[in-house]
Chain A
Amino acid sequence: MSLPLLLILLMILLAVGGYGIAAARQPGGSRRVYGATLVICVILLLLALARLLAGQGVQTLILPFGLPWLGAYFQLDALSAFFLVVVNLGGAIASLFALGYGQHERSPERVLPFFPAFLAGMNLVLVAGDAFSFLFAWEFMSISSWALVMAHHQESANARAGYLYLVMAFFGTLTLLLAFGLLAGADGGYTFGAMRAHVVSPGLAALVLVLALLGAGSKAGVVPLHVWLPLAHPAAPSHVSALMSGVMTKVAVYGFIRIVFDLLGEPVAWWWGGVVLALGGVTALLGVLYALMQHDLKRLLAYHTVENIGIIFIGLGLALAFQANLMYASAALALTAALFHVLNHSLFKSLLFLGSGAVLTATGERDMEHLGGLIRPMPWTALAFLIGAAASSALPPLNGFVSEWLTFQAILISPERPQWMLKFLVPAVGALLALSAALAATCFVKAFGITFLGRPRSPVAAQARETDLYSLTAMFILAGLCLLAGILPGLVVDGLSAAVGQLNGSALLPVQRSQPWLTLVPVTDVKSTYNGLLMLLFIGVSGFTAAWLIHRLASGRVRRGPAWDCGFPEPSPMTQYTAGSFAQPIRRVFGSILFQARERVVMPPPGDLRPARLEVEIHDPIWERGYVPVVNAVVAVSSRFNYLQYLTIRRYLGLVFGALVVLLLGMVLWR
C-alpha cells in the first residue's frame, strides 16, 4: 500500500511549497521548509527502497481527477521505484545542504515555494500511469525548475538561460506529446497499460523512438539538444543545480526508458540501438570537450553532466541493440550498466555541485581563474570535492569506475553481434567512451587543481572560510555513498535487478550476493570480475606503503641551497598555471577543428607600456550551425509577416472569411 502513501506525501510536499511563500518572509522560515522537504524525501526514499527490494510487480491506482471521465492513473513498479530512490536521495541531500546554504539566499521568496514543488513534480513523473498525468507532471517539473533558474533573474545571463530553457522544455514536451499520441493509436488508449497492449507498426515505432529521443533527450541534455543545459543548470542556486543536474536529467532518462523499453515493447530493428549508441558516444565526447573549455566551475560541471548522459545513453543503446538480436543476457548487462551510472552520476554530480555551492558561498566566485588555494581555508570541502572528482573521473575504488567498467564490459562482448554495422559502430563508440573518460579525468584535474590547489588568485579566495556543518554533512554523506557503491557494487547490481528484469524479459545478471568476497561478476567468472574491496585494500596498502617509505627513507635534514623558484619566479599569484593554460593542449588538439579555436598574441606597438596579451577565440559549432540559422529563420519569417499586425478591421474579417471559405472548399474537394 505504498502508492497512496506516496501520493499523500507528494501532496504534503506541494503544501510545503505553499507554505514556502509565507516562510520566505519569516526568520528561520527557510530552515523549516528545507527541514520539511528533508523529512518527506527521507520517508519517500525508504518507501521507494522497500518497493525496489520487494521485486517486480505493478501497483496501480486510479484517482477521480484529471481529464473528465478518464481519471488520473498512477503506477509504481520496480523501474519507478529505482528512479524514486535516485530522486529522493538527491532531494534529501539537497535539502540537508540547503539547511545551511539556504541561509545565504538573497531572495528566498523566489526559491522556497518552488523547491518543494520541483521535488513533487519529479516524483509525480515517476509514478504517473497515463500520458496525461505524465505530461502534466513533466511540465510541472519543467516550469517549477524554470522558476528556480529564474530565481536570480536580475542577471541578464540568467534571464536568457531561463528563456532558452523554457523554449527547449516546451519543444521536448511537444515531441513527447506526439510520441504518446502515436503510442496510443487511433483508439486513444492513453493509459500506460493500453499503450503496452497496443502494437505500433514498425515505421511508427521508429518515429516514436525518434520523438522520445528528442523529447527526453532535450531534457537530459543529449547533443545537439543540450544547449540550454549548461546555461540553465548553473544559473539556479547550487542545491537546485545539484538537483537539476544530478536528478532531473535522470527523470528524463526515466522518460526515455519508460517509452522506449516499456511502452513500445521489443525493439524491432537493430539500428534503433545503433542510433542511440552513436548519439550517446557523440554526446559523451562533445560534453567533456565543452567542459574542458569552461572556466566557470558550475558550467564545467553542467557540461560534464552532458558527458555522463552520453555514457548512460551508450548503455541504453547497447541494450536496445542486444534486445533486437534477442541477446537478453547481454542486454541485462548493458541495462545494469546504464542504471548503475544513473545512480552514480546522481551521487557524484550532486556532490560536486554542492561543493561548488560551498565555494560560491565562501568566495562569491564561480570563475576558476579567480579561485585557487581553497584547500587551506576549506579542507573538508576540498576533500569531499576531491572524492566527487575522483568518482566522476572513473577512478577505482569509487563508484564511477564500476559503472563505466560495466559499460565497457557490455561493449567488449559485442563482437557476438550479427550486424556488420554494429561491429564497426560499437568499438568506435568504445573508443569515444575511453577518450571521454580520459578527458573527464583531465577536466577534473583542472577543476580541482585550479580551484583548490596553488595560491589564491583573488582577495576573495584568500579570505574564504570553511562552509557550515549542514553542508559538510550533506557532502560527506554523498562522498561516503560514492565510496560504498564503489566497493560494494554487487549489492547495487542486485538492487537493480528487479528494474532490469522488468525491462528485459526477466533476463538478469548472475546474482552478486552469492559471489565470494563481494566480487562483481557481470557475465561469468572466467571472463572478467571486479572486486571493489580488493581494489580498496590494494590502493590503501600501496598508498600507505609509499607514504611510509618516503617518510622513512627521505632525509629529514634541513638543507640550504641556491634559490630556484620552482616555477614561481615572481611571488605574484598571477604567475601560476591558470585554467586556460591547463586546457590549452587539449584546445590545440581538438579545439582547432571542432571549436575553431584560434589563439592570437596581441603585441602592443613599440613605446606602449601595456603587456602583450594572448587572446583565445572559441566558437560553439552546434549553437552557430544548428540553432542560429533556426533563430534567424524564425525572425525573418515573423518580420516578413509583421504587417499582418497593422491591417484594417475589414481586412481581418476578410482574412477570417477567406480562410473559412478556403477550408470549406478544401473539404469539398478533398472528399
Chain B
Amino acid sequence: MRGLAFDIAHFLAGGMVLVSFMLLYQDRVYALLNIFALHALVLALAVGWQAHTQEAPHLYITAAVALIFKAIVIPVVLRRIVQQLGIHRTLEVVGGVGRDMLAGTGLVALSILVMLPVTQGADPLAREDLAFALAVVLLGLLLMVNRHNAISLVIGFMSLENGLILAAAGARGMPLAVEISVAFSILIALIVIGVFLFRIRERFDSVDMQAMDAFREGRRK
C-alpha cells in the first residue's frame, strides 16, 4: 500500500510538471485557459491524494479550494474577460517550441538536482513533491518571461502559485491557514488583474505588453 500511495502521488505531481510543459507551447488563448484548468485539476487531485495518505483532513479543504477556484472559477472568469476584450481569436507568437521545451527540461533537471540533495533524510514523498513543485514554479516563471499577452502572464502567475500549493501540501504539518491565505491572495490578484486588464485595454487598445512598452517613459540620463 505504501508503494502504491507513493506511486500515485509521484504520478500526480509529475502530471503537474507535464501540464506545465503543455502550457508552455499553447499559442491560443482558449487552449491556454483549458490547459490551466487541467493544471488546477491535477493539483486538486494531487493535494487530495496527499490528504488521503497523510490523513490530514484539512488538506481536503485545500484540494476543494483548488478545484473550485482554480479549476472552475478562475478559468471561467478569464474566459469571460477574454470574450469581452475580444481577443479570443488572437494568436500569440510563441518563439520556438523546441527552445522552450529544452529550457523547461533544463529547469526540471535543475530543480531535481537542487532539491534531492537538500532534502536528504526527509520523507521520500515530500522530497519528490518538493522537486516537482520547484519545477512547476520555474516553468511558470519561464511562461511569464516568454509571453507578451497579459492573459498569458496571468496564467503563468497562477500556475506558479499552483506549484507553491503543491509544495505546501507535500510538507507534513503545514497549517491550513497558509494555504487558505495563499488561495485568497490569488483570488484578490485575479480581481486586481482583471480590473487592470480592462484599464490597460481602454488606454492602449491592446493587452499586448509590447504595445505598452512603446508608451513608457524613455530612459533618463
| A643-B219, A646-B219 known; A654 vs B113 contact (CB < 8 Å) | no
> Do the beta carbons of B142 and A657 come within 8 Å of each other?
yes
A498 to B93, CA, bound (A): 80
Cβ of A660 < 8 Å from any Cβ of B?
A: yes
Query: With a CB–CB cut-off of 8 A, which chain A residues contact B217?
Result: 646
Minimum distance in angstroms from A657 CB to a CB of chain B: 5
B110 contact from A642, A654, A664, Cβ within 8 A: A664
Cβ of B91 < 8 Å from any Cβ of A?
A: no
> Do the beta carbons of B114 and A660 come within 8 Å of each other?
no
Minimum distance in angstroms from A50 CB to a CB of chain B: 52
Query: With a CB–CB cut-off of 8 A, which chain A residues contact B107?
Result: 661
Cβ of B216 < 8 Å from any Cβ of A?
A: yes
A649 to B147, CA, bound (A): 11
| A668-B113, A671-B117 known; A649 vs B138 contact (CB < 8 Å) | no
Minimum distance in angstroms from A222 CB to a CB of chain B: 39
Cβ of A653 < 8 Å from any Cβ of B?
A: yes
Cβ of B144 < 8 Å from any Cβ of A?
A: yes
Minimum distance in angstroms from A639 CB to a CB of chain B: 8
Query: With a CB–CB cut-off of 8 A, which chain B residues contact A632?
Result: none
Total contacts A to B, CB within 8 angstroms?
A: 45
* Mask of B85-121 contacts with A, CB within 8 angstroms, 1/0: 0000000000000000000000100110110011000
> Do the beta carbons of A664 and B111 come within 8 Å of each other?
yes
A653 contact from B113, B141, B212, B218, Cβ within 8 A: B141
Cβ of B220 < 8 Å from any Cβ of A?
A: yes
Minimum distance in angstroms from A448 CB to a CB of chain B: 53
Cβ of B188 < 8 Å from any Cβ of A?
A: no
Chain A residues 651-671 with CB under 8 Å of chain B are: 653-654, 656-657, 660-661, 664-665, 667-668, 671
Chain A residues 422-442 with CB under 8 Å of chain B are: none
Cβ of B189 < 8 Å from any Cβ of A?
A: no
A657 to B145, CA, bound (A): 8
Query: With a CB–CB cut-off of 8 A, which chain A residues contact B114?
Result: 664, 667-668
Cβ of B209 < 8 Å from any Cβ of A?
A: yes
A668 to B144, CA, bound (A): 24
A667 to B110, CA, bound (A): 10
Which residue on chain A has the smallest CB distance to residue B142? Answer: A657
Which residue on chain B has the smallest CB distance to residue A667? Answer: B114
* Mask of B136-148 contacts with A, CB within 8 angstroms, 1/0: 0010011011011
Cβ of B213 < 8 Å from any Cβ of A?
A: yes
Query: With a CB–CB cut-off of 8 A, which chain A residues contact B113?
Result: 668
Which residue on chain A has the smallest CB distance to residue B117? Answer: A671
> Do the beta carbons of A646 and B148 come within 8 Å of each other?
no
* Mask of B199-221 contacts with A, CB within 8 angstroms, 1/0: 00000000001001100111110
| A657-B141, A657-B145 known; A648 vs B213 contact (CB < 8 Å) | yes
Cβ of A625 < 8 Å from any Cβ of B?
A: no
> Do the beta carbons of A665 and B110 come within 8 Å of each other?
yes
Query: With a CB–CB cut-off of 8 A, which chain A residues contact B209?
Result: 648-650
Query: With a CB–CB cut-off of 8 A, which chain A residues contact B117?
Result: 671
Which residue on chain A has the smallest CB distance to residue B147? Answer: A650
A650 contact from B138, B148, B216, B219, Cβ within 8 A: B148
Q: Binding site of B, secondary structure by majority: helix, strand, loop or mixed?
A: helix
Chain B residues 20-72 with CB under 8 Å of chain A are: none
> Do the beta carbons of B220 and A661 come within 8 Å of each other?
no
A656 to B138, CA, bound (A): 11
Chain B residues 115-166 with CB under 8 Å of chain A are: 117-118, 138, 141-142, 144-145, 147-148, 153
Query: With a CB–CB cut-off of 8 A, which chain A residues contact B144?
Result: 650, 653, 657
Count of interface residues, chain A, beta-carbon cutoff 8 Å? 18
Query: With a CB–CB cut-off of 8 A, which chain B residues contact A660?
Result: 138, 141
A654 to B216, CA, bound (A): 18
Which residue on chain B has the smallest CB distance to residue A664? Answer: B114
Name the residue among A646, A664, A671 with the largest chain B CB count within 10 angstroms: A664
Query: With a CB–CB cut-off of 8 A, which chain B residues contact A642?
Result: 219-220
> Do the beta carbons of A650 and B111 come within 8 Å of each other?
no
Query: With a CB–CB cut-off of 8 A, which chain A residues contact B111?
Result: 664
Which residue on chain A has the smallest CB distance to residue B112? Answer: A668
Name the residue among B114, B117, B118 with the largest chain A CB count within 10 angstroms: B114
Minimum distance in angstroms from B203 CB to a CB of chain A: 15
Query: With a CB–CB cut-off of 8 A, which chain B residues contact A671?
Result: 117
Minimum distance in angstroms from A652 CB to a CB of chain B: 10
A667 to B107, CA, bound (A): 14
Name the residue among B144, B145, B216, B218 with the largest chain A CB count within 10 angstroms: B145
Query: With a CB–CB cut-off of 8 A, which chain B residues contact A664?
Result: 110-111, 114
> Do the beta carbons of A650 and B145 come within 8 Å of each other?
yes
A642 to B220, CA, bound (A): 8
> Do the beta carbons of A661 and B219 come within 8 Å of each other?
no
Chain A residues 603-658 with CB under 8 Å of chain B are: 642-643, 645-646, 648-650, 653-654, 656-657
> Do the beta carbons of B138 and A646 come within 8 Å of each other?
no
Query: With a CB–CB cut-off of 8 A, which chain B residues contact A646?
Result: 216-220
Which residue on chain A has the smallest CB distance to residue B113? Answer: A668
Which residue on chain B has the smallest CB distance to residue A654? Answer: B145
Which residue on chain B has the smallest CB distance to residue A663? Answer: B114
Minimum distance in angstroms from A155 CB to a CB of chain B: 31
A648 to B145, CA, bound (A): 11
Which residue on chain A has the smallest CB distance to residue B141? Answer: A657
Chain A residues 485-523 with CB under 8 Å of chain B are: none
Query: With a CB–CB cut-off of 8 A, which chain B residues contact A665?
Result: 110
A654 to B141, CA, bound (A): 8
A167 to B141, CA, bound (A): 37
A656 contact from B141, B218, B219, Cβ within 8 A: B141
A345 to B217, CA, bound (A): 57
Which residue on chain A has the smallest CB distance to residue B148? Answer: A650
A665 to B112, CA, bound (A): 11
Minimum distance in angstroms from A206 CB to a CB of chain B: 35
| A653-B145, A657-B141 known; A668 vs B110 contact (CB < 8 Å) | yes
> Do the beta carbons of B110 and A648 come within 8 Å of each other?
no
Query: With a CB–CB cut-off of 8 A, which chain A residues contact B110?
Result: 661, 664-665, 668
Minimum distance in angstroms from A669 CB to a CB of chain B: 9
Query: With a CB–CB cut-off of 8 A, which chain A residues contact B216?
Result: 646, 648
Name the residue among A642, A653, A665, A667 with the largest chain B CB count within 10 angstroms: A653
Minimum distance in angstroms from B146 CB to a CB of chain A: 8
Query: With a CB–CB cut-off of 8 A, which chain B residues contact A653?
Result: 141, 144-145
Query: With a CB–CB cut-off of 8 A, which chain B residues contact A656?
Result: 141
A656 to B209, CA, bound (A): 18
* 10 tightest A-B CB contacts, nearest first: A646-B219, A657-B141, A668-B113, A648-B213, A654-B145, A653-B145, A664-B114, A653-B144, A657-B145, A643-B219
A–B Cβ pairs within 8 angstroms, 21 of them:
A643-B219, A646-B217, A646-B219, A646-B220, A648-B209, A648-B213, A649-B153, A649-B212, A650-B144, A650-B147, A650-B148, A650-B209, A656-B141, A657-B141, A661-B138, A664-B110, A664-B111, A665-B110, A667-B118, A668-B114, A671-B117
Which residues of B are interface residues toward A (Cβ below 8 A)? 107, 110-111, 113-114, 117-118, 138, 141-142, 144-145, 147-148, 153, 209, 212-213, 216-220
